Amino acid sequence: MKNKPSKLSSIIALITVNLFPVFGVLFMGWNVFPLMLLYWSENVIIGFYNVLRMAVCTPQKNESWFIKLFLIPFFIIHYGGFTLGHCAVIITFFGKSFFEGAAGPRLDILLHIIREYGLPYAALSIFLSHGYSFVMNFLRKGEYKRIPIQKLMMAPYGRIAILHITLIFGAFLVLIFKSQVFVLLLFIFLKIVVDLWAHLREHQVKEKRV
């Protein structure tokens, strides 16, 4: 019974944060590219907190601290390459119109887009939501004591793969329907549903290991 309030509060936080893009679409003129950039930034945030989880977790009996010290930098390099590749896909398929006249994607233009659409504020809300889940679920509920570091190493990939296959499919639908507001809102709703399912599934699996 004690776990239910924390689980409910983390679900409420997740849904609330995912509603921020609705404001962006309705009042800040977001189209599919800023949305995909925001959702890509969540990859980086998930990776950041996964490094914290790997650093905090207690090695199991059949593990050693040496394995832990090896896997953390390995994850940073491997996951970093994965997220950079994903960013390149997003820019290639959804950001061409923003880089017209430039000799390819430029960092200054990308930073201008990020500032213009207020993405840092949305990304900060996502960061705080994942931080809340990290404290309430991983630390307070003691997940750090029972999850092997090898499982933490692979944990983000399954969630991100399912989520972003869905997002890319939805983004193409938005482009087909010319980024109409109604379709963008359906796209956001789809992301919320998949993200919520992934969150519940992840923590249900961890609770079964207790």
* C-alpha dist (Å) from residue 135 to 143, 154, 192: 10, 20, 22
Domain assignments of the chain as residue spans, ordered by start? 3-208
Report pLDDT for 1.
44
Chain segment 125-177, per-residue pLDDT in tens = 889 988 988 988 888 888 888 788 888 888 888 777 776 777 777 777 777 77
Which of residues 40 and 164 earns the better pLDDT score?
40
Q: Residue 48 pLDDT more than 90?
A: yes
Q: Which residue reads 């930073």 in tokens?
A: 111
Task: Identify which of 41, 50, 125, 49 has the alpha carbon closest to the alpha carbon of residue 87.
Answer: 41
Q: Residue 191 pLDDT more than 60?
A: yes
Asked if 105 and 43 touch (Cβ cutoff 8 Å), the reply is no
Q: pTM for the full model? A: 0.80
Asked if 32 and 71 touch (Cβ cutoff 8 Å), the reply is no
Q: H-helix or E-strand containing 5?
A: helix 3-18
Q: Residue 66 pLDDT more than 70?
A: yes
Mean pLDDT of 174-202: 76
Mean pLDDT over all residues of the chain?
80
Task: Identify which of 168, 189, 180, 27 has the alpha carbon closest to the alpha carbon of residue 91.
Answer: 168
Chain segment 102-124, per-residue pLDDT in tens = 666 778 888 888 899 889 998 99
